[in-house]
Amino acid sequence: MSNDTITGVEGPLTGYTVIDLSRALAGPHAGMMFGDLGARVIKVENPGKGDDSRSWGPPFVGPEDDPQATYFFSCNRNKESIALDLKSDTGKQTLRELISRADVLIENFRSGVLDRLGFSTTVCMEINPRLVLLSITGFGHDGPESSRAGYDQIAQGEAGLMSLTGSGPDDMQRVGVPIADLLAGIYGSYGVLAALLERERTGKGKVVRTSLIAGMVGVHAFQGTRATVAGQNPQPGGNHHPSLSPYGLFKCHEGAVQISVGNENLWQKFCAAFDIDPATEGMSDNASRVANRPAVIELIESKFAAFGPEDLLAKLGDAGIPSGTVRTLEEVYSWDQALSQGLKVSVDHPVLGDIDLPGPPLRFFDADGEAEVETTRTAHDAPPLLNEDAEAIVSWLDSDG
């Protein structure tokens, strides 16, 4: 483990150094997760234009002569930036020095690109035998389609997620965020943490590999076993659960609410609250309700028609029925519950000044008898400008020869 820390910032990974060679979203999201945990994350970018996502927009914000892409902000907080030409001798030498000082290296080049730059897996591990190298590709590092470029929506389709998402078989939809990229980054991060733990026992680093399609298959969950065990071929079911009923989004007066009636006890409570006979033909158990879903939806929405969303949610809450609304993102980032969980953070950006970003999803506590003291990192850095930290990084490398 490196002895280098970020002044004033603590976290479970304080003292670890991560070199982030990745661009776009999957790798940068992984790097941001390590930064949120207190690691020093050094983002290596192409000179001139930097990470691809610096130009992904609209929206752009800030001055016309220096527009900032909000996409880049989504996956690069708590990092430093240095621009290196990895085709030049100087750039390669600086990268070698960074690798020699790092605990983790992240890359998401297409298979073979890093090898051609002179930094194959073998070379990286020769430079630093304790290195944990996270490599993310679109379709995997081997196999008949390993050379294909990986983009999120293509992976959502190829790995089956789009075949499950949408209002029906003729309306397949992608998920509203780049979920294949994000999950590859998340799975990759958990692989790196496992490798770092193993390194404590063995003293040796390891290569961790994942891909966009692996992340997608990894979250098939019960839909996957419907296919592999039950021999079914799941299709989009809209906003209603394929194996539970009633469970989904239901219309009410001037709106809609979501309910989750996940067991027979809840069904009995639900029926009592809305004057429904729980033994109604075709609705007496979950399997029957799933088979007769249209009739269940029609009955429930007829009961809900007398209530607006706010009154309906209050009634459902009083009855002990899990329920909720559908919030816009604007509503989420002003919601007291989200704010209480640290899910919005403020940072000082060198061009834009004070801005708010989505916050990290983890919190940490020290237990002291009955009391818990939160130890989550609270000081966050804005996503860096291109090459913003080059001087400090080079000085750090020079300081220990």
* Active-site annotation, residues: 181
- In the block, tokens 């992904």 appear at 56
Asked if 27 contacts 20 with a C-beta cutoff of 8 angstroms, the reply is yes
Which residues lie across from 133 on neighbouring strands? 105, 207
Look at the block and give the residue holding tokens 């029609």: 298
